[in-house]
Amino acid sequence: MNVNETTVDRRTMLRVAGATAIGLPLAGCIERIGDETGATREDLVLAPPASHDRARETDVPHPIYGDDLPEATVQAPLHDRSVTTTEFVGDRATMLTFVFTSCTTVCPGLTSTLRRIQADSIERGYADEIAFQTVTFDPEYDTTDVLREYGEKQGVDFDVGNWYFLRPETPARATSVVEDTFGVAFERADESDPTESENETTDDDHTESDGETGDTDHDGMNESDGDTDETHDGHGRSHRHFVHTSLVLLVNRDGLVERAYAGGPPAPRTVLDDARTVVEEG
C-alpha cells in the first residue's frame, strides 16, 4: 500500500504545540495498525511505543508504528540513478531521515543517528541487511558534491553501498516528497515573515515519541526541535534557515514502520538496540 500524497498546512504543523491544536485529515490516507486493512501486531518485531495510542488518536501527519513505509521515487545522485523509498522492502530493513546539509543544529544529529547504525552494521556483519536513506529538502543547495562532502564529514562509509542520499529535483518536488508524502514539515525561515521568531518551535508534542528514554534530552517534547540556524560555508551560500520537524524512521524488511523517532535525534543506545532487534528478528 502506498501512502497518498496529502497537502498539509505547513504553518499549522510548524506552530503546533499540542495534540489538540492540530486537525489534519490524514486518517484515511495512512493505514494505522489495528485498522481493518492495516498491519497487525504479529507483522511487527518491536512492541508498541508507550505513546502510540496518543499518536494514533491524534492522526499525526507522519508515519508511525505499524504504518506502511510511504513510497516516493527520488534521485540518488551519488549512485547516478533514482531510488524508491520502498526499494528494499522484502529484502532488508531501512532507516530514513530528512535534513538540509547546511544545518548546524538538529540535522547533523539525525544523520549521525543513521551513521552510528551503519557503523554497527559493518562491525557486526549485517550491513547487507539494512539500508539508509537521507532525504534532503534543500535541493537548490544540496548538490551532488555537497551531499558527498557532507557524508564524508559525517563519517558515512560509501564503500559499503548501503547509504543513499536522496535529492528531489526541485523545491516543489521536495515539498511533495518530504512534506506531503512523509508528513515532515519544513519552511525557509529566511524567506518567511520577518516578524516570526527565529526560535519558533517545531515541537512534535502531538507525535509518538518512540525515542523516549532517560538517556537523551530529546524526548519528543523538546522546545528546540526547529532548526533556524544561519549558515555560511565554502559553497558561497549564507543566510539559509529552515524551520522543520524532525523524524527518523526504522522500517522492517516487510516495509512496516517499527519506530518513528520524532522531536529531535533519539537516544543512540535506544536506536541501536531497536535496529539490531528489527534486523535480527525481522
pLDDT above 70 as % of the chain: 69
Where do the structural domains in the chain lie, given as residue ranges? 10-281
Residue type, 261: Y
Q: CB neighbours (10 Å) of residue 211?
A: 26
> Cell numbers at residue 96, please?
530514513
DSSP 229: -
- Residues making up the annotated binding site are 103, 107
The average pLDDT across 131-137 equals: 99
Residues 150-179: tens digit of each pLDDT: 999 999 999 999 999 999 999 999 999 999
Residues 222-268: tens digit of each pLDDT: 333 444 444 444 544 456 889 999 999 999 999 999 999 998 899 99
Q: CB neighbours (10 Å) of residue 255?
A: 21
The SS3 of residue 158 is: helix
Determine whether domain 10-281 maps to CATH 3.90.420.10. Answer: no
- Residues making up the annotated binding site for Cu cation are 103, 107
Please list the alpha-helical segments (H only) found in the chain. Answer: 10-15, 52-57, 106-124, 144-154, 171-174, 268-281
**Weakest-pLDDT range from 3-7, 86-90, 138-142, 272-276:** 3-7
Q: Torsion angle, CA of 10/88/261/279, rounded to 10 degrees?
A: 170
